[in-house]
């Protein structure tokens, strides 16, 4: 674990490239790093919350000896873009025909409603059929409030979501779509 700084960096970089096209979280993190480095936006993944069960001390330093991963009560990513509050989650689905709603916890749905109410920009980035879609919060909530289905059909996502640019070299660009939806209280597409 103790690589010198420079080698450590190269190592990380290689990992990122190797993961491209596979791991949604890595793709989003790379996009956020790009936005940060180019001073376009400040968007970070929140650390995964943990429940600590047991700690000990080594050389005056706390070591966690037992803990478990907990679920985030909000969404995983948030930050600041052009003075506005942004929050989103990235969701992967293996299904080719729909996005199962059990991917989103009830407290997260409540939180999405809250962010909309308080004037923030909130959305999901959904990877389905090897495509990336941005589904704006109000359109996500609209579906939930008007359907009894337990999954969002791919057709709805294609119609109301925004297909995001993605390629191997340039990575994922979602801010261009945030520019589109950011100026509207509700959805700009509907």
Q: Which residues bind a second copy (CB under 8 A)?
A: 1, 39, 41-42, 44, 46-50, 53, 61-69, 72-74, 78-85, 87, 111, 114-115, 117-120
CB 14 to a second copy: min, Å: 20
- Pair of tokens at residue 152: 């969002």
Q: How far is the CB of 51 from a second copy (least distance, A)?
A: 9
Q: Which helix (H) or strand (E) holds 7?
A: helix 5-19
Q: Which helix (H) or strand (E) holds 10?
A: helix 5-19
User: Whole-number minimum distance, CB 57 to a second copy, in Å?
Assistant: 11
* Closest distance to a second copy from the beta carbon of 127 (Å): 22
Minimum gap (Å) between residue 59 Cβ and a second copy: 11
Residue 120 or 153 having the CB closest to a second copy: 120
Which lies closer to a second copy via its Cβ, residue 65 or residue 95?
65
Q: Which is nearer to a second copy, 4 or 47 (CB)?
A: 47
33 contacts 15 by C-beta, under 8 angstroms? no
Q: Which is nearer to a second copy, 39 or 145 (CB)?
A: 39
Q: Which residue, 9 or 66, is less far from a second copy as judged by CB?
A: 66
List phi, psi (to 5°) of 77: -120, 135
Residue/partner pairs of 39-45 with CB below 8 Å, 24 or more apart: 40/81, 40/175, 41/79, 41/80, 41/81, 41/82, 41/86, 41/175, 42/79, 42/80, 42/81, 43/77, 43/78, 43/79, 43/80, 43/81, 43/86, 44/77, 44/78, 44/79, 45/76, 45/77
Residue 4, phi then psi, degrees to nearest 5? -60, 155
> With respect to a second copy, which residue has the nearer C-beta, 105 or 158?
105
CB of 90 to a second copy, least distance (A): 17
């Amino acid at each position: 674990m103790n690589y010198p700084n420079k080698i450590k960096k190269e190592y990380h970089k290689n990992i990122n490239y190797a993961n491209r096209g596979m791991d949604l979280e890595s793709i989003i993190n790379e996009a956020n790093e790009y936005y940060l480095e180019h001073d376009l936006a400040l968007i970070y993944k929140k650390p995964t919350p943990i429940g600590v069960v047991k700690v000990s001390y080594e050389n005056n330093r706390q070591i966690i000896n037992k803990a478990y991963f907990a679920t985030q009560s909000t969404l995983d990513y948030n930050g600041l873009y052009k003075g506005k509050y942004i929050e989103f989650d990235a969701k992967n689905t293996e299904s080719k025909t729909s996005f199962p709603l059990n991917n989103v916890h009830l407290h997260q749905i409540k939180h999405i409603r809250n962010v909309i109410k308080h004037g923030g920009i909130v959305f999901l980035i959904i990877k389905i059929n090897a495509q990336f879609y941005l589904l704006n919060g109000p359109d996500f909530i609209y579906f939930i409030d008007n359907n009894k289905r337990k999954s969002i059909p791919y057709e709805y996502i294609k119609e109301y979501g925004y297909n995001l640019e993605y390629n191997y070299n340039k990575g994922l660009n979602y801010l261009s779509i945030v520019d589109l939806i950011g100026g509207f209280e509700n959805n700009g597409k509907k």
